[in-house]
Structure 1
């Protein structure tokens, strides 16, 4: 793969920031007179288009949670380590009150939901054993079907009759 020059790297950065090839060329250090032509030319180069796409893909991937992050969040929620903000109203006397923001532990319902979601990802021993029994049963059925290949096959034929309408 070709290497990018320093100006091309700056062009990639500026293009991602602005989305405008001419402006990106100016920001990268190309002359104002040739910025339009150079910007278009740079976007036609495969190595520069790949660099732009790789950077955009990396930016998108950074926004997406990994499975490990999801598991860590669910575990923290289940353990009650996550706090959420809520607004509480406090009386100040003489019929007046004021609101303030307070942090509290997430609800028991939310903690149970997190535990439930974690268990779906980590099946219990009985669930694993049940799945293995299903798999063994299916293997036995397949083996049974394979041993009876000399038997007469049953063929089902379906046909669709056209409907006729009666006029009154």
Structure 2
């Protein structure tokens, strides 16, 4: 692949526009649309564009490990979120500021539920004892044998 073609690939990935990519890569302004379309049809250039777009998608998209780590951090209360608060300063005036606070118990519980679903723990029955201990109990197997009527 020529240097101009490599630049075309890079600029196409950046802009998503064949004509603009051809211009930025250094091709003739007058023939940029034609050359851009021609380059895009070349199998080796198209393959390089597809590989570059896939790599970009992989970098921008959270994978399952990252999602699980995030949900775990939320559940454990390891993350903080920014919220806007308003404080009175006297004379009927107030001032807003951004403060960090721990993720809410509701959000932590929701993260725990999502993790439980992922691990199949949502099928367990939770029983809370009077002394505040929580015990997970396997639900009884459902009777799947049905006699034909």
Q: What TM-score do you get using the length of structure 2 for normalisation? A: 0.71
Matched, 1:42 2:42: no
Which structure shows the higher strand fraction?
2
Segments of 5+ residues of structure 2 without an aligned counterpart are: 125-136
Q: How far did residue 114 of structure 1 move?
A: 1.1
Say which of 17, 21, 24 aligns to 1:24: 21
Say which of 90, 94, 98 aligns to 1:93: 90
- Equivalent in the alignment of 1:54: 51
Segments of 5+ residues of structure 1 without an aligned counterpart are: 142-168
- Alignment RMSD: 2.8
How many residue pairs end up in the alignment? 131
Q: How far did residue 37 of structure 1 move?
A: 4.1
Q: What TM-score do you get using the length of structure 1 for normalisation? A: 0.64
Q: How far did residue 17 of structure 1 move?
A: 2.8
Which structure shows the higher helix fraction?
1
Q: How far did residue 10 of structure 1 move?
A: 0.6
2: distance between equivalents of 1:34 and 1:88? Answer: 56
- Equivalent in the alignment of 2:79: 82
After superposition, the C-alpha distances for 1:108-165 in whole angstroms (9 at most, x for unaligned) are 11111111211222245x85x969x67xx98xx7xxxxxxxxxxxxxxxxxxxxxxxx
